[in-house]
Amino acid sequence: MLNLRTISAGLICGFMLCASNLYFGLQTGWSTMGSLQSALVSYYMIGSTSNPKEIVLAQTLSVSAATMPLAGGFVGIVPALSMMGSSALVSWRSQLWWCFGLAFFGVFAAVPLRQRFLIKERLAFPSGTATAKLVCVLHGGNFGTRGEWSVLLQSFCGAFSFGLIAFFFPFIT
């Protein structure tokens, strides 16, 4: 389960999503967790010989890296401070310490939140539920017919093609 190919897949996918989140976040102020994308790309990178735990581990590593621009404040707080002339978080050392501090705080804040929301209240998180369903489907679960998957694939290809064309020809949108 914990092997080099799983860790590599998660970190490579996380790096790509982190870069896209930083770019997208600086333009719009939004970012995405990318849990579905991470699970799908990790499955592709690791291969069909993987087990569901490997995909979940790679997806977790990927999402952790992908959400760092938002969690570290690099898509809102830090650029805003630098635009206002503040030099408090401009050096790379201060930004690195900022990230370590947030990560340290986040680990200890997550434990009581997990106990409260996941175990006691049994809340179902949509992104986690969808990712779990996707991992089950990738590993032989029965979810949807071949025709439904064909429509999903065609929709994805159409949306991707439109986005790619609109990138080069902005007047289309």
Question: What does the pLDDT look like over 102-137, one tens digit per residue?
Answer: 878 877 888 888 788 878 887 777 777 888 888 888
Q: Residue 141: left if φ>0, alpha if ψ -120 to 50, beta else—which one?
A: beta
The fraction of the chain above a pLDDT of 90, given in percent, is 13
> Does the structure show a pLDDT above 70 at 147?
no
> Does the structure show a pLDDT above 70 at 144?
no
Q: Residue 47: left if φ>0, alpha if ψ -120 to 50, beta else—which one?
A: left
Per-residue pLDDT tens digits for 8-58: 999 999 999 998 888 888 888 788 888 888 888 888 888 777 788 999 999
Identify the burial level of 163 via C-beta atoms within 10 angstroms of its C-beta, where 0-12 means exposed, 13-18 middle and 19 or more buried. exposed
SS (H, E, C) the chain: CCCHHHHHHHHHHHHHHHHHHHHHHHHHCCCCCCHHHHHHHHHHHHCCCCCHHHHHHHHHHHHHHHCHHHHCCCCCHHHHHHHCCCCCCCCHHHHHHHHHHHHHHHHHHHHHHHHHHHHHCCCCCHHHHHHHHHHHHHCCCCCCCHHHHHHHHHHHHHHHHHHHHHHHCHHHC
